[in-house]
Structure 1
Amino acid sequence: MKKFLTTLGISIFILFNSFSQVDSTFTKQYVDEPLSDIIVDVENHFNVDVVNSDIPINQLLISTNFEEATFGQVLRYILDGTGYFFMELNNQFFIFESSFYSKEILDLVHANYTNAEFDILGKQSGKFNSVEVGRKEVVISGQVMQSSNDQPIQGVTIKNTSYNEGTLSDVLGNFKIKGFLGENNLVINSYGFASENLSLNLNNDTTLTIDLNSDVITFDEVVVTGNNAQEKVDRPQGGLEKISIRQIKELPTFLGEVDVVKSIISLPGVNTVGEGSSGFNVRGGNVDENLILFDGIPIFNSSHLFGFFSIFNSESIESFDLHKGGFSARYGGRSSSVLDVEGRKGSFTDRSLSGSLGLISTKVSLDGPVIKDKLAARINFRRAYTSLIKTFVNNPEIENKEAGFYDLNVKLDAKFENSSLSFSGLLSGDTYQFLEDTTSRVQNTGASLIYRNYALSNLSFLVKSSYSKYSNGISNPDTRIGFDYESNIEHTDLAAEVIYDISSSSYVEVGIQSILYRLNLGELVPNTEGAFNSSDAGKERALHNSAFIDYGGKLFDKLNYSLGLRYNYFLNIGPTTIYEYQENQLPYKNVSDSTSISGNSVYNTYSGLEPRVSLSYSINKKSSVKFGYNLTNQYINLISNSVAISPVSYWKLSDSYIKPRITNQVSLGYFLNMDIFNFQVEPFYKWQTNLLEYRAGSQVFINESLERDLLLADGYSYGSEFKLEKSGRLNGWLSYTYSRTLRRIISNVNESVAGEIFPANFDSPHNFNAVVNYKVSKRISISSNFQYRSGRPFTIPESIFEYQGTVYANFSKRNDGRIPDYHRLDLSMTLKSNLKKTSKFKGEWNFSLYNVYARRNPFTIFYGTVGDGRLPQAYKLSVLGSMFPSVGYNFTLK
């Protein structure tokens, strides 16, 4: 035993006489006395020899009152909180520095005692069972990487379960967490990756590189949500939903197509106006209020074929985050939500070919290293053929019409010693012919380049640039009345961000961004010269500069916080024509003059601050209360006087007449983690100004003075979201949202409209979703998805009147009626083969039933012509009124 202790270090222990020789008590009061003097008094009183010259804690000042204290009580008190502990061994007392605390020491001590004696010794020594109190802190830092391609992983949960400390990895995979000398246990979890447990015996600060393996073909893949349940409780942001592509693939599909946008509609607070509609609504926001990013590329239309399919190929996606409120100050430009989609990276080591064959589309993916361990690539292509839809829709009017789409995604990743470079590109196009001799086209083009540097342990930065263009058009080849129409929006940006870790529990992030917008509001050109005159709604340009700062961390082990501030400076740039009006409030009527702005002249500016606050208070280890507030300014608007995005919808910048949309949102939520269950409830309230509504009979197509057909409105939304989630073999979630979205016209118009409060076109008070997945075996899984939502509002005719021999309908207040409620049930089953990880070929079959009971859900209500002295006849339009079966086969070849 003496040999062992000598190896540990003779200078750090102190030998006392045996405890049996010390049978007296000690009484004395000290006020700011050096610890070394107290030890001398203890030596003299108990007749022991303490060798303490090498102990640095001797200079501590202590104030206390010992009254009939035993030797053990005195020793426990003076060592408490110093980083030292003591224990009795063979009738001798030893003082150890905490860095020498180890399991081996306890094993040696335990060998000299029976279990009962060892338990008594633990109570006497007071330190060796748990040396957390007063232990010297250390910093555990490092980076989390994907084992397959050595790419950093963002948002990984790292928790030191020994001391209830937790943190998340940043965009570069870096993390810092507090630890203590001695034993530390780290648990690492991330969506789509197998969990890791690390046991560390530390005597100083340490740096780690943690490699996570993809979580494939195991039972654990269905409990990916449960792995991150504690993260939902700990993180300060409320209104944040994280879903991996593996969870999305378990949901029932429409004609075999895995759909990101349809999956988020099953989450609380998210809604859509119906099947066959592009976009989605979040917490009472319009479809244009969602910032959608794919690897940093802004997406202006997230759907193919009017919303039947998502623009995101499931094979090109790793995961996504949906921020419904309290989002970071790094995000700007939209009012309601941020959908941040991370593209799937290529492997630096292994090549593979994968694909899928379905009734409506074919997918092919190539993945592998270009330069092994240095440059990886992934290419995804999808082509859809939609003839099957016409079979189920059974509408003779579209029997000879064509529709289809394609998309191509390319991703390159290069890694260096302390940095990485990533390129992502996308190209997609839609062509559909729903009217005789008229073809509609939609195209998305985008690319991003992101450089990350993490050479310093506590400082990292990135520089990124992106380009995105969305265009839509209509063509008619008729030689007499044929035409070509197109509108588009281009987005080019450059940004830089720096993240500095102040400590293991706090950070600061700063960044700048500059965006150049170029818009074509619509141009109509005849195919035949002289058929009719060309029309041009004009072109617009603007520069949107911004800077932000985010500061976050933890206080008192209970309060997690994220505080942010974003500053915007928006400039309208020529050339353009500005019309001047006699009136000074929307809607403008009489043009008095016009001014031409040429070149790069700035003719209008806006600026504003956007504060962001997210707080989370831990009630206990399993539950927390969260508060969030954010203010946003939105400088672009989607112009469409229909409930959904149409072929003639287009984007419009804020200008001298159309002011930025200002949105305030506040939320308060409760989050509870109950192991396999977790529950959340989050009420919210949102109020908005400078919203755009449309005059009755407004003309928005090719309108160079659009402000004359717009109404200004205020709006507010309120509601509460509920979600109960379960992990395990039977997993899924139940979500319910009650919300209202109301508008109030404030423009200077006739008294029947001014001040009118009415529900927005997408107001839906009740939304319920049930998603259930069950693993029958390792090969077979089944899932179901049920959706219910209240019917959306519409305006109904309530009477008729005759004027100069013509009968007209007199309509009720705006959006005073509602279409019937919507509900639908979907089912699917997946059969997997070749489950061995060593197998080079893997495949799976997917069978789905969409709209199982063939519900003819109404998309809208419209009315026929007025006649015979009767009110117009109402008609219900159902886009999909049949059950849609599908089968698909997915494979991977390595």
Structure 2
Amino acid sequence: MLRILISLFLLTGFQVFAQQTAYISGVVKDAEGNRLNEALVFVQNTKHLTKTNTKGEYTLVLPTGKHQVSFSYIGYRTLNIAITLKSGDKLTRDIIFEANQLLSEVRVIDQKDRREGITILDAKSFEQFPNASQSFEAMLKQLPGVSTNNELSSQYSVRGGNFDENLIYINDIEIFKPYLVRNGQQEGLSLINPDLVKHVKFSAGGFSPRYGDRMSSVLDIQYKSKDSLTAIASLATNGSSLTLFGEKKHLSFALAYRNKKNQSLLKKQQVTGSYNPNFNDLQAILNYQFNKKFNVDLLGIYNKSEFGLVPESRETVFGTLQETYRLKVDYEGQEKDAYENTLGALSLNYKFNPAISLKWINSIFSIKEKEHFDIYGQYVFEEIESDYMGGSYGQVKANRGFGAYQDYGRNELNANIYSSEFKLNYIKEKSVWEAGLKYQRDEFRDKLNEFNFLDSAGYSLPNSNGNGLEVYDYRYAVNKIDINRISGYLMNANDLGDKWSYTGGLRFIYNTFTKEFIPSPRLILTFHPKNDKDILYRFATGLYVQSPFYREMRDLDGSINYNIKSQKSIHLVASSDYKFEGLGTQLRFISELYYKKLKDLVPYELENLRIRYLANQRSNGYAVGLDFSLSGEFVRDLQSSFRLSIMKTEEDIENDGIGYIKRPTDQRVNFSSFFQDRLFNSPTYKVHLNILYGSKLPAWPPKTQNYASNFNIPAYKRVDIGFSKDLLDSESEKRIRLLDNYFKSFTLYAEVFNLLNINNTVSYLWISDINNNRYAIPNYLTSRQLNFKIIAKF
């Protein structure tokens, strides 16, 4: 397979026309002699650009003639130099950004992110990341503390928390994931459009009062309304996208459309049939600058996912070499689901002076979801001969049971979330003050109507009434919930002498459902030894409160628990952040030890992506763990990372008489690696390798409440690989003139998802045989899949 893919790239050696070229190279440093990594070097009014490597070095291949070369780095004013090149010239120009060119405000903010333990992600690396789900959140699975076991979904859990415990912001506006989605097949495009992303910040815990109010993590996304590019177009076997940027006087805007096609993935699922997914996303952002002090941002998002399935049959073989079983199912019926999210937001930004700014954010987030399914299946459960040496290999050894079942649902959820928030920032030298006040109103309209039954003919399910039919897990409810919320915060970040700094403050939240007013103090202390080593030590602690949104208050039968309390988590985090030279490059090693004390938890069941809370029960628990990560440019201009996470989380459900048990997210070990390299020692042929490992997860049959069961979902193991070639790479000595006239870059990708073709289990179908022995039939995720894509930038 690898040889075939490499051969495809070799075929891209089109007939090109040689140009007379020359070279300019050098080193970019700051006033103190530090070499600057990822400084932007570009030639004005051309498509030639590059970035410095970890040693501050750059090289540009340019045509002969006169050029205006610009050097840009975060926090500094752009520098420009004029050069004249002749054929074969190898010009050296070293650049130094002087102290008087530094933008002090940016410098303070950049230092503050590192002190707070915020991880900064490079949004541009998403293009190189082999990713079956096409979700931006897939990149998070490379970060310390993030657990993974489903490549089809953008959902993720952090340090023992579930999906509902993660905060996600776009331009300071909280966004929400679909509620009724039960598996990754139904999930469409993530609300985050990678082409619009400007800045990405992530924290796995111990974050500042600026963020709230969830118990686990925060993902902070900032969009851009203008770019050096005018358009980005992508075409792939699994989808397409188009993003346009425009600017005229005081107005700048971006318009983006995406479409996802995953029929090729779904056709290889265990259930064969007619799949009809239709996933679309349209986003627009507009900024109008009235003057230097006042500007307005408009953000609009419309995201719709439709999923249809007419199942035909299923065959699953599982077990061991000694005992092998087969489940065969024939289906009737169909499923039709629709998930629609709409966001409209208006932000007014006013800068009183360079030190004081005010932001007023108003938004409406609308959720409309429907899932309609009525599927009937007739099954045969058999034990088959597994002896390779015998003449009856693969034949039926014993019939373990047969019967039929039906899944029926007519569920609908409509919700509107209105919010208005003021945010005030004040910067004075090294001191940063922030304050915010927010009002939010949630309106939920929920209709739940679903059941399933087993007609086991006396085999799969014992019957008390003797008629062979027993309705199981019937739920019907109609709920109407309105909640008003008020939250706010005040925080300050400053130095305590030469070696110490802090970020701390107070957050509060009140909601009209639980009628709780809860303050949330938080503190981050940072120690910088100020020696020859670039190392920081951090300690963070705080109370993180998660008041019930909606799903937490709804019990399994659909009823609402009006006496529920807000869930709470106390974080204790100790970490070190060390930047050093090693292996011929600059490396960054981060280690974190954390403990979370969990109180007033709402226990839940987790089946695939579906979280069902036991709203009338309550528990207390904990999560403890260690995270390690190592990152750096092991190959010039290509960032790679390795991480290892070890975690344990348990809870004690009140009055169950069992004691502490594993939480559904108790995944003890997670390892990931994203490694990039160059093929054939060429700067234009690149390989991108993504490795994921997540240890086993606890599992138990539904409705059994056998929480102490030792049954587990097997470990998640996955390898994805991608190859890329930019036909217009600035380091390429030969370029295709036709493309060069119209594009700034034209990159070809070939990707192999699940390279090792491992059958990863995401959940189980539970059935019983004639002796009432219960069996777990694995529901597998995706198999090996090829994907090709082209990304063109204008």
Q: What is the alpha-carbon distance in structure 1 between the residues aligned to residue 504 and residue 112 of structure 2?
A: 18
The 3 A distance-change label for structure 1 pair 696 and 505 is closer
1:189 is matched with 74
Question: Could you say which residue in structure 1 is the equivalent of 2:97?
Answer: 198
**Cα deviations by residue, 1:27-46 (Å, 9 ceiling, x for unpaired):** xxxxxxxxxxxxxxxxxxxx
Alignment of 1:353 onto 2:231:
yes
Q: Deviations over 1:117-143 (max 9, x none)?
A: xxxxxxxxxxxxxxx9xxxxxxxxxxx
Aligned mates of 1:616, 1:677 — CA distance in 2? 20
Which residue number corresponds to residue 694 of structure 2? Answer: 789
CA distance in 2, matches of 1:358, 1:883: 17
Aligned pair partner of 2:537 in 619, 625, 628: 625
Greater strand content: 2
The aligned residue for residue 565 of structure 1 is 506
Q: Distance in 1 between matches of 2:206 and 2:766?
A: 42
Kept in 1, the 8 Å contact 2:475–2:557? The answer is no
Give the equivalent residue in structure 1 for 2:793: 892
1:542 aligns with 2:483: yes
Report if the CA contact (8 A) 1:235-1:560 is conserved: no
Matches within 5 A, 1:24-39: none
CA distance change for structure 1 residues 721 and 307 in 2, over 3 Å: closer, same or farther? farther
- CA distance in 2: counterparts of 1:607 and 1:269, whole angstroms: 30
Q: Which residue of 2 aligns with 1:553?
A: 494
Q: What stretches of structure 1 of length at least 5 have no aligned partner?
A: 1-131, 133-143, 149-185, 211-227, 527-532, 573-603, 643-647, 798-808
Q: Which amino acid aligns with 1:246?
A: K
Q: Over aligned residue pairs, what C-alpha RMSD do you find?
A: 4.0
Q: Tell me the equivalent position of 1:883.
A: 784
Aligned in 2, Cα 1:516/1:456: closer, same or farther, shift over 3 Å?
A: same
Task: From the superposition, tell whether residues 721 and 319 of structure 1 become closer, same or farther in structure 2 (CA, over 3 Å).
Answer: same
Q: Which aligned pairs between 1:103-118 and structure 2 lie closer than 5 A?
A: none
Change (3 A) 1:624 1:188: same
Q: How much does 1:565 deviate?
A: 0.4
Q: Hey, what's the Cα distance between the residues in 2 that align with 1:294 and 1:658?
A: 30
Q: What corresponds to 1:609 in structure 2?
A: 519
Q: 1:484 to 1:433 in 2, by over 3 A?
A: same
Is 1:843 aligned with 2:742?
no
Q: Which has the higher helix share?
A: 1
Residue in structure 2 matched with residue 872 of structure 1 by the alignment: 774
The alpha carbon displacement at 1:812 in A equals 5.3
Q: Which residue of 2 aligns with 1:450?
A: 347
In the alignment, is the contact (CA less than 8 A) between 2:250 and 2:288 conserved in 1? yes
8 Å contact kept, 2:137–2:154: no
- 1:433 maps to 308
Q: Deviations over 1:137-192 (max 9, x none)?
A: xxxxxxx99999xxxxxxxxxxxxxxxxxxxxxxxxxxxxxxxxxxxxx995389x
CA change 1:640–1:564 in 2 (3 A) is closer
Are the structure 2 counterparts of residues 507 and 245 from structure 1 closer, same or farther at C-alpha, using a change threshold of 3 Å? closer
User: Is 1:362 aligned with 2:362?
Assistant: no
Using a 3 Å threshold, how does the CA distance of structure 1 residues 451 and 237 change in structure 2: closer, same or farther?
Answer: same
Quote the residue 2:601 is aligned against.
Answer: 691
Q: Deviations over 1:198-229 (max 9, x none)?
A: 32569xxx98899xxxxxxxxxxxxxxxxx9x
**1:715 and 2:621 correspond:** yes
CA contact (8 A) 2:605 2:664 kept: no
Give distance in 2, aligned partners of 1:367 and 1:608. 44
Alignment equivalent of 1:826, drawn from 708, 720, 723: 720
The superposition leaves residues 226-253 of structure 1 with CA deviations (integer Å, 9 ceiling, x where unpaired) of xx9x968983212x22112212222223
Distance 1:432 1:201, change over 3 A: closer
Q: Which residue in the other structure is 2:20 paired with?
A: none
- For the residues of structure 2 that align with 1:673 and 1:248, how far apart are their CA atoms? 24
Q: Which amino acid aligns with 2:761?
A: P
Percent identical pairs in the alignment equals 20
The count of aligned residue pairs is 614
Does 2:115 match 1:236? yes
Larger Rg: 1
**Offset, 1:324:** 1.5
- Indicate if the aligned counterparts of 2:302 and 2:343 stay in contact, CA closer than 8 A: yes
Partner residue of 1:384 out of 256, 260, 272: 260
Contact 2:287 2:298 in 1 (8 A): yes
In structure 2, distance between residues paired with 1:327 and 1:831: 39
In structure 2, relative to structure 1, the CA distance for the partners of 1:629 and 1:694 (3 Å cut) is closer
Q: Structure with the greater relative contact order (CA < 8 A, sep ≥ 6): 1 or 2? A: 2
SS at match of 1:279: coil
Quick check: 383-392 or 777-786, which moved more? 383-392
In structure 2, the residue matched to 1:44 is none
Matched, 1:779 2:681: no
Show CA shifts across 1:812-847 (max 9, x none).
Answer: 553422222111111111110223598541311111
Q: What's 2:285 paired with? A: 411
Superposition deviation, residue 725 in structure 1: 0.9
**Aligned partner of 2:643 among 723, 726, 735:** 735
CA distance in 2, matches of 1:781, 1:812: 49
Partner of 2:462: none
Q: 2:276 matched to which residue of 1? A: 402
Aligned-partner residue type, residue 856 of structure 1: N
Contact map agreement 2:186 2:306 (CA 8 A) in 1? no
In 1, distance between residues paired with 2:606 and 2:142? 34
Residues 202-241 of structure 1: matches in 2 within 5 Å?
Answer: 235-238=114-117, 240-241=118-119
Cα contact 1:233–1:671 (8 A) shared by 2: no
Amino acid at match of 1:495: E
Task: Structure 2: state its 5+ residue gaps.
Answer: 1-31, 33-38, 44-70, 81-94, 311-332, 376-406, 452-473, 732-739
Q: Which residue of 1 aligns with 2:668?
A: 765
What is residue 653 of structure 2 aligned with on the other side?
745
Task: Give the 3 Å change call, closer, same or farther, for CA 294–381 of structure 1 in structure 2.
Answer: same
Once the two structures are superposed, residues 506-553 of structure 1 have per-residue CA deviations (whole angstroms, 9 ceiling, x without a partner) of 121112111111112325599xxxxxx996421111111122101111
User: In structure 2, what is the equivalent of residue 460 of structure 1?
Assistant: 357
Contact 2:627–2:643, Cα closer than 8 Å, also in 1: yes
Q: Describe the SS at the equivalent of 1:288.
A: helix
SS at match of 1:235: helix
